Copies of this chain bind each other. A is one copy, B any other.
């Protein structure tokens, strides 16, 4: 497996082990991970720390030139907020673990010129399927749906 997708799934598993929502993300620049993240809704009582947002936050303040050479990895198709962050910073490519359990704003990203690669990775799908079945209310909260 792509080592960056492996690191992304490991982030999702770390979130699950903390009692959180198992979605992970890493930001990769020039073949190096510069930001690790996972969903922190439960851990930090956060409404904005989706996995992708956490990876961007942990990468810190960066010049536009770094984002424009980076790839964002995420275990799950990015929601409107995380897709908007990708567009804000002009990140040119997103590698997605799966979009079977949730379809985010992939079409909008493609329309705006972002390269979107979907792996349909069995481990990512199983992680989310099990989580959604176990904690449907938490999952609905995370995607702004009625519980």
- A interface residue numbers (CB < 8 A to B): 41, 45-48, 53, 56-57, 59-65, 67, 79-85, 87-90, 105, 108, 140-141, 143-147
Contacts and interface: CB of A to CB of B under 8 A. Distances in A.
| Oligomer: number of copies | 2
15 contacts: A47-B56, A47-B61, A47-B62, A47-B89, A48-B53, A64-B141, A67-B144, A80-B85, A81-B84, A81-B85, A84-B84, A84-B87, A88-B143, A88-B144, A90-B144
What is the interface of chain A mostly: helix, strand, loop, or mixed? helix
Contacts of A89: 47, 144
Given A67-B144, A81-B81, A144-B67, A61 B87 contact: no
